Amino acid sequence: MNKLIKILHTADVHLDSPLKSLALKDEDLQATVKTATRAAFIKIVNTALFEEVSALLISGDLFDGAERSAKTAAFLTTQLDRLKAAGIPVFYIKGNHDAENPITGEISLPENVHVFDGRGGKHQIENSAVWIHGVSFSGRHAPESLLPKFGAPEPDAINIAMLHTSLAGSQGHDPYAPCSVPELATMGFDYWALGHVHKRQVHSEAPWIVMPGIPQGRDIGEAGPKSATLLTIDEKNIVVSEVPTSVAEFIEVWVGADGIESDDDLRHQIREVLLKTAKELASDAGLIRLSIGGETSRKWQILRDQDSWREVVAELARSTGVIWVERTKFELVTATESATADTSAVTELGRLMDEIQSEPAFASELRASLEAVLAEIPIGRRSRLIPDEAATEDLAHSLSETGATAVIAAMKGASE
């Protein structure tokens, strides 16, 4: 076995799961980033073909639990056929989302795809001493460890094990095939090709325990550029590298407005930050959440004109050709705000508004309005926005606070 063997490892593709971003309102962006999870998967297949890999490993959640269109399956088949034409085998274990998705059972995958079942098994990559072991989820949940289902590693060979697991998991989330890194390390495999956790992490290098992360982030919670993991095997040595896959990435951006004295200054500052972000962008498009914050004497003017500043930010971003804004937030303070006791009537009004907000009667009135209006939001989003009573209260409070600030800003500017 003198030739270098390359293997591409990915997981959590969540095919056809939509991006959740207000930035996608923009038609230009829609043209650039269309069905990003598909584009990311195409990138993975392209990489596999370009690198002439010996296998593609998909460690679960190829499908998304919610998206059940047969077209998704047809797309997948087309892509896997490309690998088949190049003689590249695909090893696939089912994750929790795959198990709940009926499409998984309905499609006939091309014969180059080897799907491990819930009982586990192993398979040798042709003309090599590399063995792939894997165990699929049999249902939506796997509360017990799946490690006992793995057989012993093959002697005198490279052994790669595929597992969809939340590892130790986090509190408040259901455990998915729970196990620990030390447990994995003692199993005798050379590389653990994991899946499930959407953030990339290399847990160990000897043996390799790699969570490749989602290949395409879908909201700001999955920020940053995303990748697949490329293994290069030379004799017994495995070298691991990242292959970029995301076509769009979510980014939090901060624009410092400290000491800003004019609109021009602020525009300049925003432009600088956006250009820098555009320059450093790893994906084809950046969907940003931008915060303008800091200490400036122009706080009230900026807040008063916040709608037009949002437009400015959006336009400046659009002019980069690669950046789109999904939200612009303002976190400004003025230098004198806390220093002196302001005796103006507007300040007094502000104080009165604070007082009123904290009164239980008014607060409950606001909460009632909030619940009534939020009933209009589709249930999925609503339950994420206000998962519990406390969140409802917090939201009502923060909305009334920003609302009050906006009114004050408008009043301060009304006579200009």
Partner 1 sequence: MRLQQFSLDLFGHFSSKTFDFGKAEAGRSDFHVIYGPNEAGKTTTMEAFMRLLFGFPHREPYDFMHQRKNLQVSGVLEIDGKQLGLSRLPVRTGSLRDRNETVLPETALQSHLGGLSEQDYRQLLCLDDETIERGGEQIVSSNGDIGRLLFSAAAGVSDLSGVLEQFKSKADGLYRKRASSTEMAKLKKDLAEVERQIKELDVPASTYRKLKHALEVSRSEEETVRTERSTLHKSKATLDTLKSALPILAEIDALEAELAPFSEYPKRLDFNPEELVELLNKQSQLLADEKRLGDDIADFEFKLKNLERQPEHLSLLDELERFDDLRSRHATADLDLEKRRNTLREIHDDMARAASDLQATDGTPTETLVLSPAQINQLEQVRERIRDAKNDVAGQQKEIDGLRARIDDAEELVGQVGANEAPNAVIGPILNRYSVDMLAPRYASAKEALRLAATALADALSGLAFKDQTFDEAPTCPITADDAEELGEHHRASNEMQQKLTIQCDELQLEIDTLKQRIAHLKVTSGIVDDEAAQSATAERDQLWQNHKGSLSETTASTFEDAMHAVDTISETRLGHATELGQLRHEEQRLLELEVRLKFNGDKKAELDNELLEIQTLVTGYAESAGLPGEITPARFAKWVTYLDLVKQAAATFDRLKEERDSTISEANRLIGELRAVLALETEDFETVVAEARKREAEERIASEEQQEAIKGRDTLNAEMKRRQTAMKDLEGKAEAREEEWATLVEDFFGDGLDANCLVHSLEPLRTVRELEVRRVTADRQVTAMEKDQSDFAQEISKLCAKAGLDATLPPLEAFKSLKTLGDTAHAAEDCFTVDSASLTTAREELGLVEDALQKIDQQVSDLATLFPADVPTNTLPELRSAVNEAQSAIEKRENCSKLVSKICTELDVPDIEAARLKLDGASLSDLTASLMTADEDLEAIDQRLETAIETRTAAQKDLSAVTGDADVAALTERKATLEAEIEETALKYLETDFGLRLAEEAIRRYRDSHRSSMMDATEKAFSELTNGTYTRLITRPEGQSEILLALDAAGMAKQAHDMSKGTRFQLYLALRAAAYEQLASQGVCLPFFCDDVFETFDEERTQAACRVMERIGKTGQAIYLTHHRHVVEIAKDVCSSGVVVHEL
Which of the residues 139 through 168 are near partner 1 (CB under 8 A)? none
The one among 51, 67, 284, 295 contacting partner 1 by CB under 8 A = 67
Residue span binding partner 1 (CB under 8 A) among the ranges 158-166, 231-239, 248-256, 398-406: 398-406
Contacts with partner 1 in 343-362 (CB under 8 A)?
Answer: 343-349, 352-353, 356-357, 362
Contacts with partner 1 in 241-300 (CB under 8 A)?
Answer: 261-262, 265, 297, 300
Beta carbon nearer to partner 1, 126 or 307: 307
d(CA 155, CA 161) in angstroms, rounded, equals 14
Beta carbon nearer to partner 1, 4 or 70: 70
Residue 31 in the binding site for partner 1 (CB under 8 A)? no
d(CA 146, CA 164) in angstroms, rounded, equals 9
**207: preceding bond cis by omega (within 30 degrees):** yes
Q: Which amino acid is at 375?
A: A
Specify whether the CB–CB gap between 195 and 177 falls below 8 A: no
CB of 247 to partner 1, least distance (A): 13
Torsion of CA 183, 189, 191, 194, to 10 degrees: -50
Site size toward partner 1 (CB under 8 A) is 82
Angle at 88 between CA 48 and CA 35, to 5 degrees: 50
Q: Which amino acid is at 187?
A: M
Beta carbon nearer to partner 1, 77 or 180: 77
CB of 344 to partner 1, least distance (A): 5
Please report the DSSP string for 321-387 in residue order. SSEEEEEEEEEEE-TTTTTS---SHHHHHHHHHHHHHTSHHHHHHHHHHHHHHHTTS-HHHHHHH--
Specify whether the CB–CB gap between 272 and 323 falls below 8 A: no
The one among 49, 75, 114, 185 contacting partner 1 by CB under 8 A = 75
Contacts with partner 1 in 34-53 (CB under 8 A)?
Answer: 34-35, 37-38
Beta carbon nearer to partner 1, 206 or 361: 361
The one among 8, 11, 13, 21 contacting partner 1 by CB under 8 A = 21
Contacts with partner 1 in 221-250 (CB under 8 A)?
Answer: none
Beta carbons within 8 Å of 369's beta carbon, 6+ residues apart: none
Residue 374 in the binding site for partner 1 (CB under 8 A)? yes
d(CA 265, CA 267) in angstroms, rounded, equals 6
The one among 22, 85, 86, 282 contacting partner 1 by CB under 8 A = 22
d(CA 318, CA 44) in angstroms, rounded, equals 28
Residue 342 in the binding site for partner 1 (CB under 8 A)? yes
d(CA 90, CA 83) in angstroms, rounded, equals 8
Burial letters for 291-307: b for 16+ Cβ neighbours within 10 Å, e otherwise? bbebbbebbbbbbbbbe
Residue 206 in the binding site for partner 1 (CB under 8 A)? no
Residue 73 in the binding site for partner 1 (CB under 8 A)? yes
Residue 403 in the binding site for partner 1 (CB under 8 A)? yes
Place of tokens 């914050």: 293
The one among 20, 82, 122, 267 contacting partner 1 by CB under 8 A = 20
Residue span binding partner 1 (CB under 8 A) among the ranges 23-31, 83-91, 139-147, 281-289: 23-31
Interface map 78-117 toward partner 1 (x if CB under 8 A): xx----------------------xx-xx-----------
Beta carbon nearer to partner 1, 231 or 247: 247
The one among 1, 32, 68, 110 contacting partner 1 by CB under 8 A = 68
Closest CA to 320 of 280, 266, 278: 278
CB of 77 to partner 1, least distance (A): 7
Mapping DSSP to helix (H, G, I), strand (E, B) and coil, where does residue 258 land?
coil
